[in-house]
Amino acid sequence: MSAADQHLLSQLAPETWRKLSSQQRTRCIWRIGERRLKLAVPRLVSLLEQGEAMQDYCLAYAIGRCGDVGALEAMHFLQQRSKHDAVRRMALHAWLQLADAVQRQQYFNNLLDSWPARLRSAWQAEDEVGVHEALKTLNENGWQTLLFSNWLEQLDQVATEQPFASKILLTIVRTVALKPGVFRALRHLYKAAEFRADAEIFGILHQRFETTPGSVPHGNRWVSVERRYVRYMDEVVRADSRVAYSATTRDYLRRRSWRTLRRLAVDDAPAFINMAVGALLAMHDRDAAPVNEQANSRHGSRLYGPYSRWLLLNRLLHTTDDWHCNRLGSSWYRFTPLAENHARQEAFAEIWDQHPDALLNLLEHSQCQAVHAFAARALTDNPSFCSQIGLPVLANLLHSPYLSTARFAFQLCRQRFENSQLEHRWLLLMLQSNLPEAHQYALDSISRNALAYCADTPLLLVIICSPSELVRS
């Protein structure tokens, strides 16, 4: 056990606990949950309902994360007895983490029985189109006994066990508007994903926060609602609030994502990799901004890249480069020209080096140029892993539309085929790639034995129809 863990456990001793402030207590409990210190669970259970609501919320979080099934009943009672919605919600998440498969299934069956009949019927048939049509009808005509936001949270719980539910949930969280009546549920889903280490939901919701401006600007104390002004802080806490997702809330959630990943990197490296990959895979070039330059009289012009407004990408991938940021890390710029940097720039490089499979996953599935550049550069420093990448995988990477990935695959191919004649299949792959150097390599290989390819009709067609002038000539 580390010295940090021992210190956290010592804080729970009665004589020390009495001297701590409320904030120090909740912070200690939260850190125990982050570090999953199972030894602390008996003491944590004894502290339930002995302090403020925030303390019970943190206790439920920590107990659920620690995974001691002996606390299952305590979580059930807390979920039933607490007067605070947030505490009941976290106690339920903890209970679901600790419950066995039979108990969870019984709970999910009870949820399904409470759903509107048309929705329930489509669900039981696993009719995806029918489910979305039922949702559309309910949203237009009213949900009556069940709010859509409450149903969305129930769906999130069911999705932890049922692939069909997960598919429906992912479709919704990618597209549903961050508006009053829904955003509160999405915020709950985000925190639940953080609690469960659900990388996919965490990544999707974080990227939506990155790319969706807040509905209420910074500093606005009053907002216009139904033709009259109301105080924002009074309105936003209402159960039926007509405002949601302010710029301040957006900034907080973006910073929270980075805080979560930073602490995981210290406490739990495998979980960090899982969550970081989830966040990076959710990033898409369709959301990138145009490169832009702004004059600055003190230091010269500021250059903003395509991802300069993405806090998490820059925190993860641009820690040692010539990038600068504002105080909150929400705007990144540089004074030198934007250019490819061959030095590694990412945070926690030593952790990424221990998980080259995660880097390969990014190359295969990411749709963001910055992520490809990072992963390709990091994998280059792991030659033993690269030597084991199969040829079918290399063939797919060679055809990547991202030049950094295609170039990475090409270099590996060159090493593999350095002392041999390229096979017919690889000649075609090289000629059909986006890399001029791959084209030249294939043409050089053909020229060494040109007569052997004179009657190769598929190869000749590829050469004649190539968009590359070099190949056609």
Note the pLDDT of residue 465: 67
**Are 5 and 36 spatial neighbours (Cβ–Cβ below 8 Å)?**
no
Alpha carbon distance, N-terminus to C-terminus of the chain: 67
d(CA 369, CA 375): 10
* pLDDT tens per residue across span 54-68: 999 999 999 999 999
**What was the pLDDT predicted at 256?**
96
Residues 316 and 371: beta-carbon distance below 8 Å:
no
267 — pLDDT class (breaks 50, 70, 90): confident
Q: Residue 431 phi/psi, 5° resolution?
A: -70, -25
The pLDDT score that the predictor gives to residue 415 is 86
Structure tokens given for 83: 């007067």
The pLDDT of residue 296 is above 90? no
Give the mean pLDDT of 89-118. Answer: 94
Mean pLDDT computed over 400-415:
92
Query: At 237, is the secondary structure helix, strand, or coil?
Result: coil
Judged against a pLDDT cut of 90, whether residue 365 lies above it is answered with yes
What is the reported pLDDT for 454? 66
pLDDT of residue 330: 87
Q: Residue 155 has what pLDDT?
A: 96
pLDDT of 283: 97
Residue pair 280/269 in contact (Cβ under 8 Å)? The answer is: no
Q: What is the pLDDT of residue 451?
A: 66
Contacts 24+ apart (CB under 8 A), 233-236: none
Q: How far is CA 348 from CA 209, 240, 276, 293, 345, in A?
A: 24, 42, 11, 30, 10
Q: What is the H or E stretch that residue 15 is in? A: helix 14-17
Rounded distance, CA 78 to CA 103, Å?
17
Contact by Cβ (8 Å): 108, 161? yes
Residue 94 DSSP one-character state: H
Q: How high is the mean pLDDT of the chain?
A: 89
380-401 mean pLDDT: 92
Is the pLDDT assigned to residue 297 strictly greater than 60? no
Most confident of 87-101, 286-300, 324-338, 410-424: 87-101
Q: Phi and psi of 324, rounded to 5°? A: -120, 160
Q: What is the DSSP letter of 286?
A: G
At residue 470, the pLDDT reads 67
Per-residue pLDDT at 461: 67
Using DSSP's 3-state secondary structure scheme, residue 284 falls into strand
The model's pLDDT over 43-52, given as tens digits with 9 standing for 90+, comes to 999 999 999 9
Q: What is the mean pLDDT of residues 310-323?
A: 89
Which amino acid belongs to residue 286?
R
* Res 452: pLDDT: 63
Q: Does 472 have pLDDT greater than 70?
A: no
- Which of 21-35, 40-54, 141-155 comes out lowest in average pLDDT? 141-155
Of residues 220 and 348, more confidence is placed in 348
CA atoms of 449 and 437, how far apart (whole Å): 19
The helix/strand/coil state of 19 is coil
Q: State the residue for tokens 């970081």.
A: 276
Mean pLDDT of 459-472: 67
Q: Which has more pLDDT, 374 or 471? A: 374
Dihedral angle of Cα 256, 261, 263, 266, to the nearest 10 degrees:
-170
- Residue 173 and residue 120: Cα distance in Å, rounded? 20
Instruction: Give pLDDT tens digits for 170-220.
Output: 999 999 999 998 999 999 999 999 999 999 999 999 999 999 999 888 888
**pLDDT more than 90, % of the chain:** 65
pLDDT of 220: 82
Q: What is the pLDDT of residue 295?
A: 76
User: Phi/psi of residue 432, each to 5°?
Assistant: -95, 0
- The answer to whether the CB of 189 falls within 8 A of the CB of 158 is no
**Max intra-chain CA distance, the chain:** 89
Identity of residue 50: Q
Task: State yes or no: pLDDT of 466 exceeds 70.
Answer: no
The angle subtended at Cα 382 by Cα 378 and Cα 387, nearest 5°, is 125
Tokens of 305: 């890249």
> What is residue 429's predicted lDDT score, i.e. its pLDDT?
80
Dist. CA 206–CA 283, nearest whole Å: 9
Q: What is the pLDDT of residue 370?
A: 95
Distances (CA, A) of 128 to 77, 84, 105, 168, 176: 36, 35, 21, 7, 17
* pLDDT: which is higher, 327 or 466: 327
pLDDT, one tens digit per residue, over 411-464 is 998 888 876 677 777 877 878 888 888 878 777 777 777 666 666 667 666 666
Q: Give pTM, 2 decimals.
A: 0.90
Indicate the residue type of 84: H
Buried b (16+ CB within 10 A) or exposed e, 314-339: bbbbbeebebeeeeeebbbbbeeeee
pLDDT of residue 419: 67
